[in-house]
Structure 1
Amino acid sequence: MSLKDKIAGTLAGMVYGDAFGVPGELWPREKVRSRFGTIDKFLDGPEDNIVACYFKAGHYTDDSSQALVILNDLLKYGHVPEAAILAKDLIAWVESMNGFEINLLGPSSKASLLAHVKGEDYTKYTKTALTNGAAMRIAPVGTFFNFDETKSLCRTVAKVSSVTHGTDVAIAGASMVAQAVASGLCGRSYDEMLEDICKAFDFAVTLGEPTWAASIKDRLLNVLDKAKGCTDPDKFSLLVYNLVGTGTMTSESVTAALAIAYYCQDVEKAAFLCANMGGDTDTIGSMACAICGAFNGLSSIKNETISYLEKTNDINFADLADKIIKARASFIKE
């Protein structure tokens, strides 16, 4: 499997999990199931879902949108630009979506980006940001790294995240997602990936403002230990839902996404599990499926699904992968 196939798979997985998880976003598990039964195809966001109602079937959400803004800046500058530049480009996207007026952004991202707009001290928000805004948009950053460049990867993630998130848990969670992608691209096994992301956690957690957030590493190892021998995906999903949680906190959603990627090891299976589990379904799906895509490549996803996602979102995963491969050799890492 080529590097191009794996990078394209990362991006396609990100969009796939994001779009597939739209319908039940931020609804409890039982509400998702009572409304939809089983989500087994791309669906419009329901009108009465105040978060998902803006998105039609197959369209990615703010997760992939922000990830692509970040990716375009990395490709444009060949390094991580200053926070002011990242903020300017993220704000331009937000304003194009009328995002400050509608229920589009997470609370941490919205507060910090508004501070950027007003010329205020945005770090008073980044220093307390516990939500998953940094992690949900970070998967493309992992495509610029080899698996053994962990410290450089984490420092780069911290700089990318600093525009909206500067806490230990936010940087550690985002670093674990980016590291999982890098490990997948480099042909590591899923068990080796687990070792890699634990190392990333240990370093990345020292890079941010200390908080009282639960350890993603400990939570992940605990839930995977509890799940040993579980062959029923729905039971596994319920275990994650009850033991870890699937809300917007980084300590919940990133832990859930990493656990699901490790358990499913397949983009389609992960997308299905995430969409039906309840909670922050699109964000968890986006992260989990990006990781599975990094391991298994674009070629592991059905051609008709790729064509549908590319047409719906006006995106070409292979072309983007080519641009990343061209930029990797000269990309300046932190």
Structure 2
Amino acid sequence: MAISAQSRARGALLGLAIGDALGMPTQYMPRAIVAKRYGILDRFEPAPEDNPISRGMKAGCVTDDTDQAVILGELLVEGGGYVDPRRFADELLAWETRMIAAGSADLLGPSTRKALTLIADGMPTDETGKTGATNGAAMRVAPVGIAFPARPVEGLVDAVFQSGHVTHNTTIGLAGASAVAAAVSVAIDGASVSEALQAAIEGAQHGARRGYYFAGGDIAARIGWAIGLVRGKTQSEALDLIYDIVGTGVATQEAVPAAMAILSLVPEDPWLVCRLAASLGGDCDTVAAIAGAVAGACHGIEGFPPAVIADLKTANPSLDLEGLADRLLSLRGKASILPPSAHTGVRSA
């Protein structure tokens, strides 16, 4: 049975959140400890007391990966595809203030935090992200892939840049975000996992032509290499290779290739994609969020067990990911990266 675009859009955001929530208790823990304590995660777990970032969080709770994606998605809907960079910065700061008030240690990442500090110091928003090369833009970019068509790829990359440059205006940061957005976007139109992975490589190639130069491994090349590295390997072998060689840190050139490698390992099972990614260790909530978004877009909401979706909703009652996905999808083909005041009538891509 054909999977609808609506199901794929909803699957993208739910997959992002499922991967994020699965990886919440294991984030920034060494793989050896994760493997000994959990093996391969098969359900949402509460954060352990020895996790300094997520300690105190209940099973199934999402982290900044999902929260930032929702902030971005809502601004995309509000602006018809345009995201005001200063407004985005203000929303991110307000989110962090709420997290601090709640006693959370799960706060803004290094690139985003630095950019927002520079904004407060008066730096123009087209310069604040010129050192942003970590994975923050990639982890939250799925809404752009829902709202904007995959073709022409240059247009999609323009949308990635417009919505993310305030914090991640570098060749590496934009390449990673463009890879994820391209994979999600082609999947909304019906692409298979294999086709989405190829789109990710193409998106990364185009994204690397934008932003300020930042030294580091080529994202497109590293995605292809990471996929080849795990081909034919058992799940255990693949996880070790990804953790030890590809890397699962906050660097975009680690997190994005790691996510795509996991996706290539079990392309027919989005729930297993999230479980494996969340069991990696390192910045595994982000790796799992990225992998889950693409897997969910390829397979639709039906790709995840209904009980898992129900548990996610119970743990995060204020999240309306399906409603947000529907609103983003309604923009597709009409969204514009121009401010609403710059155009009249029907928006064009």
Question: What's the TM-score, normalizing by structure 1?
Answer: 0.93
Q: Tell me, in whole angstroms, the C-alpha distance in 2 between the residues paired with 1:165 and 1:328.
A: 24
Does 2:339 match 1:324? no
Give the partner amino acid of 1:224: I
Cα deviation for residue 38 of structure 1 reads 4.1
Distance in 2 of aligned mates of 1:35 and 1:305: 21
Q: Tell me the equivalent position of 2:252.
A: 250
**Aligned partners of 2:226, 2:203: CA distance in 1, in Å?**
19
Matched, 1:14 2:12: no
Residue 63 of structure 2, aligned match among 61, 64, 67: 61
Matches of 1:68 and 1:281 in 2, distance apart?
Answer: 19
> Among 143, 146, 151, which residue is 2:149 paired with?
146
Change (3 A) 1:300 1:165: same
1:1-334 aligned at under 5 Å gives the runs 1-98=3-100, 102-120=105-123, 126-230=129-233, 232-265=234-267, 266-314=269-317, 315-333=319-337
Number of matched residues? 333
SS at structure 2 position matched to 1:97: helix
The letter for the 1-side match of 2:215 is: W
C-alpha deviation, 1:120, in angstroms: 4.5
In structure 1, the residue matched to 2:341 is: none
Q: Tell me the percent identity.
A: 33
Query: Equivalents in 1 of 2:294, 2:51: separation in Å?
Result: 27
1:234–1:273 Cα contact (<8 Å) kept: no
Give runs of ≥4 in structure 1 deviating > 6 Å: none
Give the C-alpha shift of residue 36 in structure 1: 3.3
Q: Deviations over 1:134-171 (max 9, x none)?
A: 11111111001233231111111111111211110000
Provide the TM-score with structure 2 as the length reference.
Answer: 0.90
Comparing 114-123 and 12-21, the one that deviates more: 114-123
Matched letter for residue 281 of structure 1: C
CA distance in 2, matches of 1:65, 1:32: 24
Structure 1's 102 and 227: CA in aligned 2 closer, same or farther, altered over 3 A? closer
Residues of 1 paired with 2:67 and 2:41: CA distance? 23
Contact 2:176 2:219 in 1 (8 A): yes
Whether the aligned pair in 2 keeps the contact of 1:150 and 1:179 (CA below 8 Å) is yes
Inter-CA distance 76–23: structure 2 relative to 1 (3 Å threshold): same
